[in-house]
A = this chain, B = another copy of it.
Amino acid sequence: MTTKTKKGVETLPLNTVLGGDCIEVMNGLPEGSVDLIFADPPYNLQLRGDLHRPDNSQVDAVDDAWDQFASFEVYDRFTRDWLKAARRLLKPNGAIWVIGSYHNIFRVGAALQDAGFWILNDVVWRKSNPMPNFRGKRLTNAHETLIWASRDEAAKYTFNYEALKSLNEGIQMRSDWVLPICTGHERLKDEHGDKAHPTQKPESLLHRVLLGTTNPGDVVLDPFFGTGTTGAVARMLGREFIGIEREAAYRKVAEKRLASVRKYDRAALEVSTSKRAEPRVPFGQLIERGMLRPGEELLSMNGRHKAKLRADGTLVGDDVKGSIHQVGAALEGAPSCNGWTYWCIKRDGKPVSIDVFRQQIRAEMAERAN
């Protein structure tokens, strides 16, 4: 355990995991001693019954006691209390990150503002591999929200603009981050081979946060430490951490993990910036963007078939409905068909391949990336 002397009197328990209630523990630490706080508080999911996948397997839900709150009021009080304790710990130029979902993030965001924090950005973590919506009743919940806020409006917060720009292949980093969820070998298991924690965050996410908004040697506090992703990435990046975790089982996992962390283990982290193939453009976007109009007629390139366009991007031909690919295949009696190159539309009296519109969208996307 490292300690750090502040004004020759108080010390900070650096690079350790503290047990106990995070509010009490925070109140026992010296005021104005922390550069950054990263917090992943309970989301207050309000789950009702069981959920099964279409293949009848059961979804392992987050049903832990620590995520249960009696009411919004109780949750709000909890939020205000830990935010107050957290804000006291921050240095004048300190900042905070909080992550959440629609269940809790609006309440947390409002509480942050009420407590005097100054929101700098909200950041969307777009999951490349989210869990689908199995019952088809809502949109796939494919993102979580992070709020980045300084201690107050006057704070001169840390922002490593160039570092994030480099991380993003020379393009200014945006407020939406596409990163995969934590799976595979990175996902920590308990002695039974089950996941050690229901909501372990990926190191890539913390890497981006800490690289962008702290400097080497900074002190990062995580009041909901869990399996210690914040601490692990902090150590890799040469930052100091303080972890607080109530559950002894999680502390144990975190301590084991931290014991084997090596500083600057970059290779394992840089996974998310790989080159993509040409971006997929859903055909429906051509309608949403007004390039094609519902009700218009598409013609096949060979001139033998036609089909009518609907508002949801499906086609209706002779006795067939479906995607541009399905209808093309059916009309040709073929097993498959590339609708993009099969269909065209009259523009100024001349047939224009619909692929032209896709290329237009891709060109816009590419231009913006430069």
Contacts from A to B (Cβ < 8 Å)? 52, 56, 65, 68-69, 72, 101-103, 105-110, 112-114, 116, 119-124, 126, 128-130, 132-133, 136-143, 145, 147-148, 152, 159-164, 166-170, 172-176, 179-180, 186, 203-204, 207-208, 211, 236-237, 264-265, 267-272, 274, 280, 282-285, 287-290, 293-295, 308-314, 316, 321, 323, 332, 334-337, 364-365, 368
Contacts and interface: CB of A to CB of B under 8 A. Distances in A.
A314 B143 CA distance: 28
A320 to B, nearest CB: 13
Contacts of A334: 56
29 contacts: A52-B335, A65-B116, A68-B116, A101-B122, A102-B147, A106-B106, A109-B110, A121-B138, A122-B145, A128-B365, A129-B364, A133-B172, A136-B161, A136-B172, A140-B175, A143-B176, A166-B313, A168-B282, A169-B323, A180-B289, A186-B290, A236-B294, A264-B294, A265-B295, A267-B316, A268-B294, A268-B309, A270-B310, A272-B321
Contacts of A290: 186, 203-204
A190 to B, nearest CB: 22
A93 to B, nearest CB: 14
Nearest to A210: B311
A269 B316 CA distance: 11
Contacts of A180: 289, 364
A312 B272 contact: yes
Contacts of A316: 267
A213 to B, nearest CB: 10
Contact of A284 (B114, B124, B168, B312): B168
Closest 10 CB pairs of A and B: A106-B109, A167-B284, A268-B294, A268-B295, A204-B288, A142-B174, A163-B312, A102-B122, A271-B312, A264-B294
